Amino acid sequence: MEEAIVLYPTPAIGHLISMIELGKLILTHKPSLSIHILIATAPYSGGSTASYIATVSSTIPSITFHNLPTVTLAPNFAASTPNHETLTFEVIRLNNPNVHQALLSISESYSIQAFIMDFFCSQSLSVTSQLNIPAYYFFTSGATSFAYFLYFPTIHNTTTKSLKELNTTLNIPGVPPMPSSDMPKPLLERTDKAYEYLLNSSLLAPKTAGAIINTFEFLEPKAIKAISDGLCMPDSPSPPIYCIGPLIADRGDGSDSGHECLKWLDSQPSKSVVFLCFGSLGLFSKEQLKEIALGLEISGKRFLWVVRNPPSGQSQNLALSTQHEPDLDSLLPDGFLDRTKERGLVVKSWAPQIAVLSHDSVGGFVTHCGWNSVLEALCAGVPMIAWPLYAEQRSNRVVLVEEIKIALWMHESYSGFMGADEVEKRVRELMDSEEGDSVRKRVLILKEEAKAALSPGGSSHVALAKLFESWKKSQAAF
């Protein structure tokens, strides 16, 4: 019987892209395998997953997508939660019978070697253990975040308070200290439904056959060692980890090449443009958009900026509902587009980020610190300004600025608002100061180390070989 691997990403574009890249990486080393990807329907938008999936299906015949039937959320469920994480967990939970069915159907024709699920799909472990299929977590963020996720049950057991009330610094031996307020948003509030789901995912980690992390040894050596040494889960054995990154989307097919912003970048001087883009879900209020515009204008620097409509209703700061094209004239200060037209370009809603970051004219990146964005900037050798918005991005900022030193800190007000003066100051600092030079030099070193990690004999290459070995052992154990 032919052998197959089943991948189960969450339906958010950032998670989906790295899972598909993992599938492509596996195929490069094991071309005889079939890869099956289970796709649950997302209750939110934020970047088109459909066109991405269509491109992958049409270009890689060994990858087959299985669309799971749409599940029905309880009435008002989406409106009752401020977190897209809760929606994701609920969709995954409701999909368990569909996952069961899909695995049975795939196993009629293939011997399933491993089931690799996003950390957010942990509830499917009950299905895979019923079917005796070795299951692995895939953690699409970094090792430091994973270390804190593994440590989270320990924190939970040592206090009855919510993290947002603790006002302390969390310390796992060997891992960069983390202010409790910088932990991922859904972990801050104990009564939050997402808190419970994430706690459960952490507690289930020892029951997996291992965790695959999208990072590499040189990038996060301390966190990787702490997890491997079992320091993050004092009460139970940590799962083996496989750091196989950096995995970023391969857009070598040239599909993005016609985009207007790339043509515009062609006309800009080398390393002169600051790129501002905030992931698949990041949104700003109208007031915040105006401050960014003013900051960019007074900085005098060249910029390329992706602007979306402000959030509406329940969606808070996330693109949880269908986004319409923004009306730039009404959102940005009067005359801004005209006054900056010689040195700035505003793109509506979405830009081909990887192609932009790889363009020679781009010299800096203001990012929401989503892990894919971080790795994409790192692989392109572009230094960053860290402006976290949601999920684990605040802890990513701590790691990027204080540990890896490839980004500058942006100082928001207590409410999270960023004034024009702060935008201006950081943009100039990145492009014109010694601090900016220092993060630029450091990111170029990381760029080379990332290549080395993926090359034969490199740490990620070796970790992948160990992962393949573990499939064999897990199969034998079942």
Q: Which of 186, 279, 295, 311 binds ligand UDP (CB under 6 A)?
A: 279
**Cβ neighbourhood burial of 61 (10 Å; 0-12, 13-18, 19+):** exposed
Q: How far is the CB of 363 from ligand UDP (least distance, A)?
A: 18
Collapse the DSSP code of 431 into the 3-class scheme (helix H, G, I; strand E, B; otherwise coil) and give the result: helix
> What would the DSSP string read from start to end of 289-305?
HHHHHHHHHHHT-EEEE
Q: Taking CB under 6 A as the rule, does residue 149 contact ligand UDP? A: no
What phi, psi does 7 have (nearest 5°)? -110, 140
Name the segment binding ligand UDP (CB under 6 A); options: 13-21, 33-41, 434-442, 465-473: 13-21
Name the segment binding ligand UDP (CB under 6 A); options: 56-64, 150-158, 287-295, 351-359: 351-359
Closer to ligand UDP by CB, 51 or 105: give it: 51
Distance between CA atoms of residues 361 and 259, nearest Å: 15
Where in 370-409 is the site for ligand UDP (CB under 6 A)? Answer: 370-373, 376
Q: Which of 10, 123, 128, 353 binds ligand UDP (CB under 6 A)?
A: 353
Q: How far is the CB of 341 from ligand UDP (least distance, A)?
A: 21
CB 400 within 8 A of CB 369: yes
Q: Which of 47, 245, 246, 383 binds ligand UDP (CB under 6 A)?
A: 47
Q: Which of 127, 243, 351, 399 binds ligand UDP (CB under 6 A)?
A: 351
**Site for ligand UDP (CB under 6 A): how many residues?**
21
Q: Taking CB under 6 A as the rule, does residue 213 contact ligand UDP? A: no
Q: Taking CB under 6 A as the rule, does residue 22 contact ligand UDP? A: no
Q: Taking CB under 6 A as the rule, does residue 326 contact ligand UDP? A: no
Which residues lie below 8 Å from residue 433, measured CB to CB, with a gap of 6+? none
Distance between CA atoms of residues 364 and 357, nearest Å: 9
Q: Taking CB under 6 A as the rule, does residue 320 contact ligand UDP? A: no
Q: Taking CB under 6 A as the rule, does residue 306 contact ligand UDP? A: yes
Quote the Cα angle for 210-213-115, to 5°.
45
Q: Taking CB under 6 A as the rule, does residue 85 contact ligand UDP? A: no
Instruction: Region of 19 please: left (phi>0), alpha (psi -120 to 50) or beta.
Output: alpha
Q: Taking CB under 6 A as the rule, does residue 277 contact ligand UDP? A: yes
Distance between CA atoms of residues 320 and 367, nearest Å: 19
Q: Which of 445, 444, 427, 442 is nearest to 386 (CA)?
A: 427
Q: Taking CB under 6 A as the rule, does residue 14 contact ligand UDP? A: yes
Q: Which of 5, 183, 224, 281 binds ligand UDP (CB under 6 A)?
A: 281
- Break the chain down into helix, strand, coil percent, rounded to 5: 50, 15, 35
Residues making contact with ligand UDP (CB under 6 A): 12-14, 17, 47, 249, 277, 279-281, 306, 350-354, 370-373, 376
